[in-house]
Amino acid sequence: MENTEQRRHFFDLKIPLGSLLGFYGIVLLAYGIFGPKDIYDKSFHMDINIVWGILLIVISGAFLLSAYLGRKARK
């Protein structure tokens, strides 16, 4: 086995991770917008699903973008 350039590690984890978080972001955002509103009495009338949905979409985008750029750089 070579020391420096060993076998490439299996696959790019950022893709499944980014996709899962992106899915969660979309689900939460949609539920926050279209779902019932009375459930937010618990969270002091803050629609936490919209807030967190947007956050998750941003994080997911960062993972997927970095995976895309990494792949482009290798080619």
Partner 1 sequence: MKPVISLNFIDYMILSAYVLITIIVGYSLKKYMKTSEDFFLSGRSLPSWITSLAFLSANLGALEVIGMVANSAKYGILTVHFYWIGAIPAMIFLGLFMMPFYYSTRVRSVPEYLKHRYNEATRGLNALSFAIMTLLMSGISMYAMALLFELMLGWSLTSSILLSALVVLIYVFFGGLSSSIYNEVIQFFLIWLGLLPVVYIGLHAVGGFQGLVAKIPPDFLNAWRQMGSASQNPMGVDWLGMVLGLGFVLSFGYWTTDFLVVQRAMASENLSAARRTPLIASFPKMLVPIIVVIPGLLAVALLPQFKVVPGGPTPDYNSALILMFAHYLPNGILGLAITGLLASFMSGMAGNVTAFNTVWTYDIYGSYIKKNMPDEHYLKMGKYATVFGVLFSIGTAYIVRSFPNLMDYMQLIFTFFNAPLFATFLLGMFWKKTTPWAGFWGLLLGILAAATHYLLYQLHVLHYSSEMAANFYQAWWAWCVDFVMTIIISLFTARKDEKELVGLVYGLTPKVHSEERFFKRPAFWGGLSIAVMIVLNIIFW
Q: With the C-alpha atoms ordered 22, 75, 2, 4, is the resulting torsion angle positive or negative?
A: negative
What is the rounded distance in angstroms from the CA atom of residue 64 to the CA atom of residue 71?
11
Smallest separation, CB 18 to partner 1 (Å): 10
- Contact of 52 with 28, CB cutoff 8 Å: yes
Instruction: Give residues in contact with partner 1 (CB under 8 A).
Output: 3-4, 6-11, 13, 16-17, 19-21, 23-24, 27-28, 31-32, 35, 39-40, 42-44, 46, 48-49, 52, 55-56, 59
Shortest Cβ 59–partner 1 spacing (Å): 8
